[in-house]
Chains A and B, each alone.
Chain A
Amino acid sequence: MSMKKDYASPDEYGLADLLCCAAARDVRDNEVVFAGTGLPMVAIMLAQKTHAPNLKLIFEAGSIGALPLELPTSVGDARCEVGASVSSGLHDTFSIAQRGEVDLGYLGGAEVDEYGNVNCTVIGDYLDPDLRLTGSGGSPDINSFAKRTVFIMLHEKRRFTTNVSYITSPGWRLKKWPGGEWVHRRELYGSAFRGGPSAVISTAGVFRFDEETGRMYLDTCHPGHSPNEINDLCQFELDISRVNGETVPPTREDLHFIHDVLDPEQLFIPKVKKG
């Protein structure tokens, strides 16, 4: 166990490793976790191998309480079913979410605003888009009902935007339809309100939210980034008054699990070439 706090030096890990480990640390043991495809899967399975061995992993395609031997490439993958408590379908997994049984969801996105509204539908005007993206998938559904949701994103100024092109996944301040006036998430979700986006983990830092104002603040900077520099990478004025130091780097044990056990094929996390 002496290996556990043995932090890797900066030349031993890449940005994807750092993001994966930061994401894994948001999982608490015994939680019910809803996994999206990609890096989130590696993060959750890393938590499962380290500090959260009793987490319950749900894949929205139907596998509930899974213990995959190999990293799935998507949530519909045959690999998702290994070790599952129940193999079912989407009606079951989304019902579980709406029922309020999910603690944590992990998702990605193309754009985010300061209230944690995330876009993965279009870039530009929805009615005349510059680029149509994949669309929502289960992002709004998981994020509507999980107590906490973590987004993992590439950090570019155009992506940390004042107004997302399209609100795909609901943040802390939202439009009340049909009128479209902005209200706090709590007012909209009634008895289904259980929380919301709890963190954005970008390639520059880790961001969290003030639940009352709904505003994003900088929590930790990734090594090599300063709060002011990260603020400059946002279109909106980022709250940098609550910075809590640097993002904790991966341990050597984390790197061992990521590269030797979970993702040896480098499907989502490339290995750092030394030297």
Chain B
Amino acid sequence: MSASKRITVQEAAEIIKDDSILTFSGFTIWRRPFAVVYELIRQKRKGLHLIEVNGGSHSEFLVGAGCVAIWESCWIGHELYGKYGANLSRKVKNKEIIVEDYSHMELEFRFAAAAAGAPFSVTQTALGTDIHNPEYDMLGRAGLRDGQRIGKQKYQFIDDPFFGAGQQVLCPAAKVAIALMAVQQVGEEGTVRVAGQYYADPEVARAADTTIVMAEEIVPEEYLRREADRNSVPSFEVDYILECPFGAHPSGMFGRYDVDGAFLKDFYTNTRTQEGFDAFAKEWIHGHDHMSYLEKLGWPRMLTLRANTALNYSTNVKRGQ
């Protein structure tokens, strides 16, 4: 075995420097790496450029805390528990953040292109929409399209040169520096086993130059290699690992715990203003570490969220009201 990849929550956040291009595992309010996201807020990270297949509550926390300069994605909100991203919305209105819109499929395929080492993706989606309006190239307007990590153009059209299938859209590969992931299991050498829908995780892990995997548990590598067909990311594509139970709370994790809807609703309701966000962050983030955060949540709440092992979601959580 090579040198240990194990790090702490604090060290994981320290690897993510100011102005980095960052992405995440998960889907809206599922499997988001909250423990490290909170630590980034404690460490007052600035200037992050998030490229996300889709955003969610974790993006709202980072945006509200002022960590994000550019948000490049297609969706933000808290699903049932908050109908839009109020922090992003406030910062857009105040022109405190750059937002670059692509469609969901375009973003997924931009990550797939980066994961395959290809310079661009090809799709036929969202034709005729304002996503392709040249006036709305926000990174171009900001003069940031340097052709290094950010493509020289937002998109380009070509006609299918092979089969005459019509107009195609090329979008630049999502050249992210760091992927921060929350999963159920990682091996000591980095092999990842994701349970449930794997969203965009395999592409995200491969696209990034540096991949940090936060897992509910670090397990013997040999255990995962007994059934390699169940694994999602090979060991050498993972640079750092950390064990952090309930590390994705308040998002949910298939087979482990459900989304904490009451927590998200509380966040959404109380962080419309910057003062509201700051008060929420003071209560739940600053002055805490992961263990004191869990202590504050308390066992009864965590047991209610805990997934039924047959169904992979909680049968006790109250999802309404």
Contacts and interface: CB of A to CB of B under 8 A. Distances in A.
Interface of A: 37-38, 59-63, 69-70, 73-82, 87-91, 94, 97-98, 117, 121, 126-127, 129-141, 144-145, 166-170, 174-178, 180, 183, 185, 188-192, 265-268
Contacts of A134: 75-77, 83-85
A140 B106 CA distance: 10
B232 to A, nearest CB: 9
Given A74-B30, A166-B130, A192-B124, 7 more contacts: A61-B27, A132-B85, A134-B77, A167-B130, A176-B128, A190-B167, A268-B80
B50 to A, nearest CB: 13
A178 B154 CA distance: 12
Contacts of A74: 27-30, 79-80
22 contacts: A63-B197, A78-B252, A78-B312, A90-B104, A91-B109, A121-B101, A126-B133, A126-B135, A133-B84, A136-B101, A137-B74, A137-B75, A141-B104, A166-B130, A167-B130, A168-B129, A189-B124, A191-B166, A192-B165, A265-B318, A265-B320, A268-B80
A91 B166 contact: no
Contact of B124 (A73, A144, A168): A144
A61 B196 CA distance: 10
A266 B112 CA distance: 38
A90 B79 contact: no
Interface stretch (B88-96, B172-180, B207-215, B221-229): B88-96
B84 A98 contact: no
Contacts of A80: 197
Given A76-B30, A134-B83, A178-B157, A126 B136 contact: yes
B105 A61 contact: no
A74 B319 CA distance: 12
A91 B79 CA distance: 21
Nearest to B54: A137
Closest 5 CB pairs of A and B: A190-B166, A174-B128, A76-B27, A62-B197, A141-B105
A140 B28 contact: no
A267 B197 CA distance: 22
Contacts of A70: 313
Contact of B254 (A81, A91, A138, A183): A81
Contact of B200 (A90, A97, A166): A90
Interface string B198-218: 111111000000000000000
Contact of B127 (A69, A78, A136, A144): A144
A127 to B, nearest CB: 7
Contacts of B160: 190
Given A61-B199, A98-B124, A265-B320, A190 B74 contact: no
B104 A60 contact: yes
Nearest to B308: A78
A136 B104 contact: yes
Interface string B55-85: 1000000000000000001111101110111
B85 A88 contact: no
A126 B137 CA distance: 11
A130 B94 CA distance: 10
B53 interface: yes
Most buried by B among A140, A144, A168: A140
B165 A190 contact: yes
Contacts of B234: none
B67 to A, nearest CB: 18
A78 B184 CA distance: 13
A91 B133 contact: no
Given A126-B136, A136-B103, A266 B201 contact: no
A78 B129 contact: no
B27 A138 contact: no
A138 B104 contact: yes
Given A91-B112, A185-B128, A265-B319, A78 B258 contact: yes
A132 B89 contact: yes
A89 B128 contact: no
B294 to A, nearest CB: 21
Nearest to A71: B319
Contacts of A167: 128-130
Nearest to B160: A190
A113 to B, nearest CB: 12
Interface string B293-318: 00000000000000100011100001
B157 to A, nearest CB: 7
Contacts of B125: 94, 98, 140-141, 144-145
B76 A89 contact: no
A129 B319 contact: no
Contacts of B109: 91, 94
A268 B206 CA distance: 37
B188 interface: no
A219 B258 CA distance: 41
Most buried by B among A76, A87, A168, A170: A76
B73 A76 contact: no
B103 A141 contact: yes
Contacts of B196: 78, 81, 87
